[in-house]
Structure 1
Amino acid sequence: MSRPLRLPPPETPLQLYRHLLRESSYLPSVVRPFIDKYIKSSFQKSQKDISLQHVPSRFKRGQQSLRYIRAANNGDISRMNRILLMAFGRIGPRRRQLVSSLVRKPIPTDTAELAAYVQQYTDVTSLDRDPDWLDNWDTNKLYALARSQMSTSPRNSPRPDITAANLSHKLTIPEKNSWDNPWPKKTYRTKLKKFWITLVEKIMPPLPKDEWEKLALLAQGQFQEAGWYVRPRRTPVGTQYEPEWRYDLYATQPVARVDRRSSRRQKLLTGALDDNTPTGDPQPLNCHRFTPRLWRRLLMHIWSLSPTMEKTDVAGKGGGSAVWSVKWGKQHFTPPAATKTGEMEFFGGIAQDEAKAKGDGAKGKKGKG
Structure 2
Amino acid sequence: MPAPFQPGASHLKSIHLLRALLREASYLPDAAARGYFRQYIVNRYKAYQPRHNATASFDVQAVEKYRHRSFKRRQVAIINERTRPLLRKGQKGLNFLRRANQGELPCLQKVLFFAYGRIGRRKYALLESLLKPDPFMDGDAGPLPDVEEPAPLQKLYYSNKRYLQYFDAPRPTIKKRLTIDISDRYSRLRTVLKSQHQQGISIHRELKGPAFITPINNVWERSMPIKRAINNVRRWYAETMTRLLPPLPNDEWDNMHAMILKERHISFAKQRKPGLALHPESVSDEERFATSVEQGLALDRPSRADKPAGMHRPHTINAKFMRRLYTKILTLCCKLEYDYEHKSWRAIWGDPMNRISPKIYAVPIDESLFAGVDARGQAPKTPKKPTNDAGPKIPPRNAKDEYVHFPFFAEYLPKDHPIRRELDAWKRKRAAAASESEFKSVATSKLRPRP
TM-score (ref. length: structure 1)? 0.71
Shift of 1:137: 3.5
The residue correspondences of 1:1-369 to structure 2 (distance < 5 A) are 11-27=12-28, 28-47=30-49, 48-49=73-74, 50=76, 51-106=79-134, 113-114=144-145, 117-118=147-148, 121=150, 127=156, 129-137=158-166, 139=182, 140-154=187-201, 157-163=202-208, 166-170=209-213, 173-224=214-265, 228-238=266-276, 244-246=291-293, 250=297, 258=299, 261=302, 266-268=303-305, 271=306, 283=310, 285-312=312-339, 323-331=344-352, 333=354, 335=356, 347-349=364-366
Tell me: CA distance 1:131–1:260, structure 2 relative to 1, closer, same or farther (3 Å): closer
| CA displacement, residues 317-350 of structure 1 (integer Å, 9 cap, x when unaligned) | xxxxx732111000362636988xxx88x63447
Tell me: CA distance 1:72–1:246, structure 2 relative to 1, closer, same or farther (3 Å): farther
Query: Identical aligned pairs, as a percentage?
Result: 20
Tell me: CA distance 1:180–1:56, structure 2 relative to 1, closer, same or farther (3 Å): same
Q: Provide the C-alpha distance between the structure 2 equivalents of 1:176 and 1:65, rounded to a whole number of angstroms.
A: 50
8 Å CA contact 2:327–2:353 kept in 1: the answer is no
**Comparing 120-129 and 301-310, the one that deviates more:** 120-129
Q: Provide the C-alpha distance between the structure 1 equivalents of 2:155 and 2:321, rounded to a whole number of angstroms.
A: 58
8 Å CA contact 2:14–2:87 kept in 1: the answer is yes
SS for the counterpart of 1:324 is strand
Tell me: CA distance 1:125–1:175, structure 2 relative to 1, closer, same or farther (3 Å): closer
- Aligned pair count reads 305
8 Å CA contact 1:303–1:330 kept in 2: the answer is yes
- The Cα RMSD (Å) is 3.6
8 Å CA contact 1:16–1:63 kept in 2: the answer is yes
8 Å CA contact 1:215–1:303 kept in 2: the answer is yes
Shift of 1:213: 0.6
User: What amino acid is the match of 1:324?
Assistant: W
Shift of 1:29: 1.7
Shift of 1:11: 4.8
Q: Provide the C-alpha distance between the structure 1 equivalents of 2:221 and 2:197, rounded to a whole number of angstroms.
A: 33
Tell me: CA distance 1:334–1:66, structure 2 relative to 1, closer, same or farther (3 Å): closer
User: What amino acid is the match of 1:31?
Assistant: A
Structure 2, unaligned stretches of length 5 or more?
Answer: 1-9, 50-72, 168-181, 278-287, 375-451
SS for the counterpart of 2:97 is helix
Q: Provide the C-alpha distance between the structure 1 equivalents of 2:200 and 2:151, rounded to a whole number of angstroms.
A: 38
Structure 1, unaligned stretches of length 5 or more?
Answer: 1-8, 253-257, 273-280, 317-321, 358-369
| CA displacement, residues 152-207 of structure 1 (integer Å, 9 cap, x when unaligned) | 123xx4231124xx33422xx32212322111223212211221221111111110
| CA displacement, residues 268-320 of structure 1 (integer Å, 9 cap, x when unaligned) | 2xx25xxxxxxxx6637341211211111000100111011233369x8xxxx
Tell me: CA distance 1:303–1:282, structure 2 relative to 1, closer, same or farther (3 Å): closer
Tell me: CA distance 1:84–1:282, structure 2 relative to 1, closer, same or farther (3 Å): closer
SS for the counterpart of 2:80 is coil
SS for the counterpart of 1:201 is helix
8 Å CA contact 2:151–2:165 kept in 1: the answer is no
User: What amino acid is the match of 2:225?
Assistant: P
8 Å CA contact 1:10–1:19 kept in 2: the answer is no
Q: Aligned residue for 1:255?
A: none
